[in-house]
Amino acid sequence: MAITHNLGFPRIGKNRELKFELEKFWREETSKEELQHTAQTLRKTHWNLQKQLDWLPVGDFSLYDHVLDTSALVGNLPERVSQEQDDLAKYFQVARGQSHSHCQQVAAGEMTKWFDTNYHYIVPEFD
């Protein structure tokens, strides 16, 4: 018997909802809670679209970068990141080089290509 499965699902949304919500968040036109609500809605929608699969992938969603997610998960963010911010602000400070409030400017993490694709990721740093 064949088993249906995939390796993940595009996180951006059918109509690029994540992209637009992130841009609004970075312009301070929406809140962290609204961004998290959009992310939660997209994950639920994606799971529902895949519900006919035998094995449903989880953990394939990211607000910005899967590699940065892993660094943040294990607490491996550069020392230059302000420790006075919440976790989401620290995350985007590494990704974009600034905090949500723009009070703290720091260098963004280095980006490099994922193997030979057009996908880029933030290179983990080990201070």
The domain limits of the chain are 11-57, 62-127
Please choose, from the candidates 72, 82, 86, 78, the residue with its C-alpha nearest in 3D space to the C-alpha of residue 104: 82
Please choose, from the candidates 69, 77, 72, 80, the residue with its C-alpha nearest in 3D space to the C-alpha of residue 105: 80
Integer Cα distance of 11 and 29 in angstroms: 21
Integer Cα distance of 93 and 59 in angstroms: 22
Q: Tens of pLDDT along 44-86?
A: 999 999 999 999 888 889 999 999 999 999 999 998 887 888 9
pTM: 0.83
The answer to whether 50 and 75 are in contact (CB under 8 A) is: no
Q: Report phi then psi at 48, rounded to 5.
A: -65, -35
Scan for tokens 């260098």, then name that residue.
107
Q: Tens of pLDDT along 49-59?
A: 999 999 988 88
Q: Report phi then psi at 93, rounded to 5.
A: -65, -40
The answer to whether 65 and 52 are in contact (CB under 8 A) is: no
